[in-house]
Structure formats: structure tokens, C-alpha cells
């Protein structure tokens, strides 16, 4: 993004990069399930923890989207980070299930202050400098920070908690809080685009305007379904199963962190190559191709579980898909959304994602009773359905923007 140096967009891209870097670090992540069990949670209680997180996202998306449109991304990020820090500190005293449920709910709620608001800020910053067509490149660059922080998290987190002792878990929690405090410093450096007028009307009218945008651009809704139906099984679900897949195929546990780190390095380069990819292939082609790659990766993981080579190959393919698809979707979707209700509209779409999360998780939980292989095959079928949903560019963006502003 060197051509944006010295511009508002360039400044906010750099700031968002470091916000993502420090905000996504979780030293507890590589041992999180072990931490839960060490504190006495059963498998069913861990699933309830996850459901509290999804439920909080479902409840919080629209109110926090409205909040971001009314008060700006900087204020929204600050509030979200304080909620996140508070939730993490709860883990220091979490020994009863209800405390974990409370932690998960607050943590999920904190995420909604960033959801949509980060994209809105970035797109409007680029738009002010006449570079909105570089949204996917900018998102890819910012997303790459997450992969770098993940490398440190999986390597140092797993090493520092190698004995799974309570003092080691506490150290990981406090390290995370320290990095989130650094994140606050970078949030304070955000500059609000001049071309964005903060929304001051009735919040219900604001939500109505967001719904009107989606109604006037049905391709936006279909494209969102495409992205979600591929992402949920190929990323969210697969993340819970890739570790046992690797160990069942013969990979020693001590090397899982190394595999994760290598995948993060690959994701970093893939995210930073979005511009190169979109200069050679159309965005729609890349969305369709990566969707099919996700389906193939899930099918191979289901049918050739004994082959470590295949499992590792599928794992890297699915990580590549995750790194590439979302930045491209971000470009295509934001081209269809007016500035004044951008965060609200994106949050309304995210509600659908949260509902599908709960439905797909519940469905696959029932399928899991029939065997692990069937979970992966049904996941592949869901991703295939999503891939077949048509994607098109917003050739009527201007009309939609006018309709949304009325």
C-alpha cells in the first residue's frame, strides 16, 4: 500500500494493522481447551461456553453497529477493547461454569464493537482518497497482522504452558491483557474520515435504513450467504477438528504448534498477495475457486483421514481459503453499502451469520453421533451449497447509496 503513503487511508491502514496485531494475540489460544478442562469444565460445558459467545454476537451486532455509525469507529473500538479486557480478567478467577459463561458472553459482545466498524472505517478512508477499489488489498494487508501475531501466540503460548499448571495459565492471561492495553494506544491514533457524517437520527430509523440497503441490493445478501456457508464449515467448524485429524494421522502433538505457525506464515503471504491475485483473476472467479477448494479440502479430510500428507495438505488449503476469501468479499460487499449506515448494515448481515452458526453447530452436533467422517462430509456439502450461490459485482452501487441515504 505504498501508493497511499501520506494519506488518511494510508494512516488508518497502518493503525488498523497494529490494532489487529495486538488485538488478536491470545497466548491462551493454543491451550484453551486444556485450560477449560484444567479448571473443571466438561465437554458439554465447553460447548455451552461457545454458545454463549455466539449468542452475545447475535444480540450485540445491531446495537453496536448503530453505536459505531453514531459515534465513530474510534469510540466503538475503545469500548469494545475495554469489554474484551474485562472479560479476559474474569478468567483469572474463573473456576465455576457460570463465570466462564459470563466471560464468553462479554468477550463475544466485545467483538461486535469491531464487527463492521473496522470495514466501515477502512472503506470510507479509502473512499476519501479515491482508492476504494483497493479495499480487498487493504483488508488483506491488515488481516496479515493476525497471522503474524498467531505465530507468536501458538509457539510461545504452548511453550509457556507446557506443564499445564495454574500459574502458567495466569501468566498467559496477563500477557494477553498487556497486549490489549497496547492495542488501546493505537486505537487512539485513528483518524475519522471527513466524508462520513455521523448518524444522528432515531436508531430504529438507522436500522431501517440498513435493512433498506439490503433490500435494494439482494445480491449483497446472497453473496453474504455464499461467504458464510463456506466459512462456517471450512473454518469455524474445521478448527475444532484439525488437531485430532493430525494426531490420528500420526503427527506428534508437539509438532502441531509448528504446523500452525507455518500455516500462519502462509496466510501472511496470501493476505498480502490479494492485489497480485485480483490483478490476474476476477474477484468473482477467486471467490468461486476458493469455495471449491474448501469443499475439496473437507472431502479429502473425511475420506483419507489416515494419510498425514493429505490431512496437512487439506489443512493448508483451508487456511489459504480463509486468508483470501474474506478480503475479496469485503471489497465486493462494501461497494454496495452507503457510508452513513455502513457499520449498521454490516452488523445486520452478521446477525444472519450468528444464526447460521448456531444452526450449523447444532446440526453437526447431531451428525457427530453417527461418526466423525460424516461431520466433515456434511460440512463439505454445506460449503458446496454456499459456493453455488451466485456472486456478482455491485453495478448499481450509486443507486443503492442514494436509496440508503433517503
> Residue 248 is part of a domain; what is its CATH number?
1.20.1250.20
Residue 180 pLDDT = 95
Of 144, 167, 192, the one marking the end of a domain is 192
Residue 128 pLDDT = 83
Does residue 288 lie within any of the structural domains? yes
Residue 2 pLDDT = 64
Tell me the average pLDDT across 283-297.
93
Q: How far is CA 25 from CA 14, 155, 156, 265, 386, in A?
A: 17, 12, 11, 15, 30
The answer, as to whether pTM is greater than 0.85, is no
Tell me the average pLDDT across 54-70.
82
The C-alpha atoms of residue 35 and residue 46 are separated, in whole angstroms, by: 11
DSSP category for residue 251: -
Does residue 198 lie within any of the structural domains? no
182 and 208 part of one domain: no
261 and 324 part of one domain: yes
302 and 337 part of one domain: yes
> Is pLDDT above 50 for 401?
no
Q: What angle do the packed helices 117-128 and 43-71 form, to 10 degrees?
A: 40
Does residue 101 lie within any of the structural domains? yes
Residue 398 pLDDT = 43
162 and 63 part of one domain: yes
305 and 398 part of one domain: yes
The whole-chain average pLDDT of the chain stands at: 82
The C-alpha atoms of residue 352 and residue 370 are separated, in whole angstroms, by: 28
345 and 403 part of one domain: yes
274 and 148 part of one domain: no
Of 162, 192, 222, the one marking the end of a domain is 192
Reference 23, options 78, 61, 72; nearest CA is: 78
- pLDDT tier, 21 (very low <50, low <70, confident <90, very high otherwise): very high
The C-alpha atoms of residue 274 and residue 35 are separated, in whole angstroms, by: 36
- pLDDT tier, 58 (very low <50, low <70, confident <90, very high otherwise): confident
Q: Count of domains in the chain?
A: 2
Range in 20-34, 209-223, 387-401 the model is least confident about: 387-401
Residue 170 pLDDT = 93
Taking the CA atoms of 87, 353, 229 and 50 in sequence, report the sign of the dihedral they define.
positive
Instruction: Kindly write down the DSSP assignment for every residue of 84-137, as one continuous string.
Output: HHHHHHHGGG--SHHHHHHHHHHHHHHHHTTTTHHHHHHHHHHHHTT-GGGHHH
Specify which of 261-275, 295-309, 381-395 reaches the highest per-range mean pLDDT: 295-309
Cell output for 263? 500455516
Residue 52 pLDDT = 86
208 and 168 part of one domain: no
Residue 46 pLDDT = 73
Measured in residues, the chain has a length of 406
Cell output for 351? 446477525
Question: Where in the sequence is the domain holding 385, given as residue range(s)?
Answer: 203-406
Range in 91-95, 145-149, 238-242 the model is least confident about: 238-242
Residue 393 pLDDT = 63
Q: Three-state SS across 254-320?
A: HHHHHHHHHHHHHHHHHHCCHHHHHHHCCHHHHHHHHHHHHHHHHHHHHHCCCCHHHHHHHHHHHHH
Cell output for 301? 479430510
Q: Which helix (H) or strand (E) holds 104?
A: helix 97-112
The C-alpha atoms of residue 279 and residue 100 are separated, in whole angstroms, by: 46
Does residue 197 lie within any of the structural domains? no
178 and 251 part of one domain: no
pLDDT, greater one: 399 or 218: 218
Does residue 304 lie within any of the structural domains? yes
Q: What angle do the packed helices 8-23 and 117-128 form, to 10 degrees?
A: 160
Tell me the average pLDDT across 62-73.
81
End-to-end CA distance of the chain: 34
pLDDT, greater one: 161 or 376: 376
Does residue 301 lie within any of the structural domains? yes
The C-alpha atoms of residue 229 and residue 378 are separated, in whole angstroms, by: 12
The C-alpha atoms of residue 150 and residue 170 are separated, in whole angstroms, by: 19
pLDDT digits (tens, 9 = 90+) for 362-378: 777 777 667 778 888 99
Q: How far is CA 30 from CA 175, 290, 355, in A?
A: 14, 26, 27
Residue 342 pLDDT = 63
Does residue 45 lie within any of the structural domains? yes
pLDDT digits (tens, 9 = 90+) for 336-351: 766 556 666 777 777 7
Residue 395 pLDDT = 47
Does residue 138 lie within any of the structural domains? yes
60 and 157 part of one domain: yes
Contacts of 271 (CB under 8 A, 6+ apart): 140, 141, 143, 144, 147, 323, 324, 327
Percent of the chain with pLDDT over 90: 28
Residue 205 pLDDT = 60
pLDDT digits (tens, 9 = 90+) for 87-129: 999 999 999 999 999 999 999 999 989 877 787 788 888 888 8
Residues 77/117, Cβ–Cβ less than 8 Å: yes
Range in 157-166, 201-210, 261-270 the model is least confident about: 201-210
Reference 132, options 141, 121, 142; nearest CA is: 121
262 and 364 part of one domain: yes
247 and 294 part of one domain: yes
pLDDT digits (tens, 9 = 90+) for 380-397: 999 999 999 988 765 444
Of 192, 219, 244, the one marking the end of a domain is 192
Amino acid at each position: 500500500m505504498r501508493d497511499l503513503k501520506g494519506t488518511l487511508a494510508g494512516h488508518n491502514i497502518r493503525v488498523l494493522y497494529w490494532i489487529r496485531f495486538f488485538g488478536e494475540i491470545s497466548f491462551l489460544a493454543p491451550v484453551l481447551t486444556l485450560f477449560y478442562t484444567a479448571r473443571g469444565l466438561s465437554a458439554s460445558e465447553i460447548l455451552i461456553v461457545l454458545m454463549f459467545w455466539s449468542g452475545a454476537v447475535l444480540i450485540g451486532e445491531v446495537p453496536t453497529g448503530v453505536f459505531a455509525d453514531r459515534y465513530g469507529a474510534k469510540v466503538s473500538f475503545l469500548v469494545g477493547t475495554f469489554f474484551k479486557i474485562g472479560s479476559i480478567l474474569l478468567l483469572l478467577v474463573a473456576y465455576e461454569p457460570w463465570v466462564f459463561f459470563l466471560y464468553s458472553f462479554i468477550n463475544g459482545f466485545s467483538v461486535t464493537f469491531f464487527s463492521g466498524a473496522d470495514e466501515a472505517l477502512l472503506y470510507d478512508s479509502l473512499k476519501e482518497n479515491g482508492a476504494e477499489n483497493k479495499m480487498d488489498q487493504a483488508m488483506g494487508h491488515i488481516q496479515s497482522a493476525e497471522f503474524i501475531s498467531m505465530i507468536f501466540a501458538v509457539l510461545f503460548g504452548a511453550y509457556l504452558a507446557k506443564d499445564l499448571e495454574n500459574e502458567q495459565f495466569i501468566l498467559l492471561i496477563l500477557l494477553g491483557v498487556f497486549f490489549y492495553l497496547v492495542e488501546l494506544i493505537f486505537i487512539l491514533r485513528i483518524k475519522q474520515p471527513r466524508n462520513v457524517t455521523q448518524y444522528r437520527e432515531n436508531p430504529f430509523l438507522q436500522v431501517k435504513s440498513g435493512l433498506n440497503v439490503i433490500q435494494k441490493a439482494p445480491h449483497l445478501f446472497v453473496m453474504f450467504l455464499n461467504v458464510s456457508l463456506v466459512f462456517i464449515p471450512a473454518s469455524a467448524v474445521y478448527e475444532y477438528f484439525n488437531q485430532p485429524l493430525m494426531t490420528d494421522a500420526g503427527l506428534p502433538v508437539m509438532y502441531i504448534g509448528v504446523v500452525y505457525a507455518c500455516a500462519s506464515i502462509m496466510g501472511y503471504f496470501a493476505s498480502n498477495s490479494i492485489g497480485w491475485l485480483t490483478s490476474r483473476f476476477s474477484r468473482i472467479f477467486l471467490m468461486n475457486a476458493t469455495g471449491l477448494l474448501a469443499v475439496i479440502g473437507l472431502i479429502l479430510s473425511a475420506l483419507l483421514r489416515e494419510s498425514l500428507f493429505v490431512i496437512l495438505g487439506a489443512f493448508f488449503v483451508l487456511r489459504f481459503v480463509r486468508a483470501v476469501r474474506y478480503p475479496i468479499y469485503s471489497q465486493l460487499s462494501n461497494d454496495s453499502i452507503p457510508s452513513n449506515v455502513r457499520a449498521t448494515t454490516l452488523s445486520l448481515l452478521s446477525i444472519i451469520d450468528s444464526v447460521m452458526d448456531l444452526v450449523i453447530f447444532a446440526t453437526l452436533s447431531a451428525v457427530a453421533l453417527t461418526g466423525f467422517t460424516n461431520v466433515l462430509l456434511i460440512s463439505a456439502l454445506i460449503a458446496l451449497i454456499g459456493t453455488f450461490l451466485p456472486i456478482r459485482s455491485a453495478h448499481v452501487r450509486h443507486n443503492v447509496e442514494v436509496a440508503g441515504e433517503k
